[in-house]
């Protein structure tokens, strides 16, 4: 069933109970980060609908009082077996919420408690269209929900963006190939690399910090919001500390530019990944913000393969995951 029909059916089923009033995005780590664009979209655009992105285990132990028959709970687990996320799905189901499970693995434990199971493509799928990316699928669901519940004026522009994003990303990935190799050589021996981002693109910085630098490369990191940078974090800026700064195309670009201006003056070792330079601006202004995250994440792939290679530390190396109980 396509996203539009799923949302139509949910609204029909909830009609007698007061319709959809809350949307919760629930997952852990990179899967939670993949929801940040969709959650930001709801926070920015919705007039009435409540939305939140919540870590699965927090959702289980500190369940929002509003969660129930008027809620849509969208969960994501790549292998579909993250215990906290499966438990969160069960809880949402038992409270009468409509549960949409996103997983890469059909038939995985997560799907047991789901009213709808939605797949996505992963960046290792050579034939994928980037509009099916893990961050864009929940965004497309959020756009559908908002449009059908409250109306969303830029709905057609969003669909147009979905049509364009694959070509933009493929070009961008080629564009950064040499830069990625240079980045890898420059930073391969660093013990800490900060990421920076803002607005609807922030999730990409979060994922790059916790899933790539920390998890897959054992490099210390934190994702600094470019608006928050000037209110604490910037004091650690010096000529040695490395930053990977992403420049959104869209509303919060001014925040990123201000941070970059500061880096130009007081830092020396920073890498700029700029959505505007990478061609995102062909997507129309009212919706361009929401495509930053997927663009950055897909471009970081090129950087990450190069970095893992230069460090001789494969992205699949773990000391704890898959190895010890926790």
Query: Does 79 contact a second copy by CB under 8 A?
Result: no
Measured CA to CA in angstroms, residue 168 lies from 171, 281, 296 at distances of 5, 10, 11
Among 130, 184, 197, 225, binds a second copy (CB under 8 A): 225
> Of the candidates 145, 14, 25, which has an alpha carbon nearest to the alpha carbon of residue 92?
25
User: Beta-carbon neighbour count of residue 266 at 10 Å?
Assistant: 11
Query: Does 210 contact a second copy by CB under 8 A?
Result: yes
Backbone angle region of 261, left / alpha / beta, with phi > 0 → left and psi within -120 to 50 → alpha: alpha
Query: Does 62 contact a second copy by CB under 8 A?
Result: yes
Among 258, 269, 276, 313, binds a second copy (CB under 8 A): 258
CB of 66 to a second copy, least distance (A): 5
Among 5, 170, 264, 318, binds a second copy (CB under 8 A): 318
Evaluate whether 4 touches 147 at the Cβ level (below 8 Å).
Answer: no
How far apart are the C-alpha atoms of 99 and 88, rounded to whole Å?
Answer: 10
- Cite the DSSP H helix spans in 277-322: 285-288, 292-311
How far apart are the C-alpha atoms of 67 and 181, rounded to whole Å?
Answer: 47
Among 15, 16, 231, 239, binds a second copy (CB under 8 A): 231
CB of 136 to a second copy, least distance (A): 19
Query: Does 214 contact a second copy by CB under 8 A?
Result: yes
Query: Does 221 contact a second copy by CB under 8 A?
Result: yes
Cα 221 vs. chain centroid, distance in angstroms?
17
Query: Does 222 contact a second copy by CB under 8 A?
Result: yes
User: Beta-carbon neighbour count of residue 68 at 10 Å?
Assistant: 16
Among 9, 11, 13, 55, binds a second copy (CB under 8 A): 55
Report CA dihedral (91, 95, 96, 97) to the nearest 10 degrees: -60
Query: Does 154 contact a second copy by CB under 8 A?
Result: no
Query: Does 293 contact a second copy by CB under 8 A?
Result: no
Among 3, 103, 198, 292, binds a second copy (CB under 8 A): 198
User: Residues in the site for a second copy, rule: CB under 8 A?
Assistant: 21, 28-32, 43-48, 50, 52, 55-58, 61-62, 64-66, 82, 84, 192, 198-200, 209-211, 214-216, 218-223, 225, 227-228, 230-237, 241, 250-252, 254-255, 258, 262, 265-266, 289, 318-321, 324, 326
């Amino acid at each position: 069933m396509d996203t539009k029909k799923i949302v139509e059916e949910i609204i029909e089923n909830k009609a007698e109970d007061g319709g959809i009033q809350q949307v919760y995005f629930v997952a852990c780590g990179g899967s939670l980060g993949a929801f940040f664009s969709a959650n930001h979209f709801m926070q920015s655009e919705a007039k009435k609908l409540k939305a939140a992105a919540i870590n699965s285990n927090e959702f289980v132990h500190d369940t929002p009082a509003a969660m129930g028959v008027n809620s849509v709970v969208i969960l994501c687990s790549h292998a579909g077996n993250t215990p906290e996320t499966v438990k969160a799905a069960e809880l949402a189901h038992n409270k009468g919420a409509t549960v949409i499970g996103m997983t890469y693995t059909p038939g995985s434990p997560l799907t047991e408690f789901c009213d709808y199971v939605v797949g996505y493509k992963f960046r290792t799928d050579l034939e994928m269209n980037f509009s099916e990316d893990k961050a864009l699928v929940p965004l497309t669901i959020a756009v559908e929900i908002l449009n059908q519940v409250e109306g969303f004026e830029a709905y057609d522009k969003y669909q147009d963006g979905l049509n364009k994003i694959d070509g933009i990303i493929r070009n961008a990935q080629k564009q950064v190939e040499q830069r990625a190799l240079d980045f890898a050589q420059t930073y391969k021996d660093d013990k800490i690399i900060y990421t920076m981002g803002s607005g609807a693109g922030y999730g990409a910085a979060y994922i790059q910090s916790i899933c790539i630098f920390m998890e897959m490369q054992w490099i210390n990191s934190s994702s600094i919001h470019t608006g928050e940078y000037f209110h604490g974090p910037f004091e650690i800026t010096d000529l040695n500390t490395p930053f990977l700064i992403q420049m959104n195309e869209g509303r919060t670009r001014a925040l990123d530019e201000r941070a970059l201006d500061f880096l130009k003056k007081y830092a020396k070792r920073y890498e700029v990944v700029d959505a505007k330079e990478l061609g995102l601006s062909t997507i129309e202004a009212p919706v361009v913000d929401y495509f930053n995250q997927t663009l950055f994440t897909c471009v970081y792939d090129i950087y990450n393969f190069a970095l893992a290679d230069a460090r001789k530390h494969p992205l699949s190396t773990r000391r704890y995951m898959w190895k010890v109980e926790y």
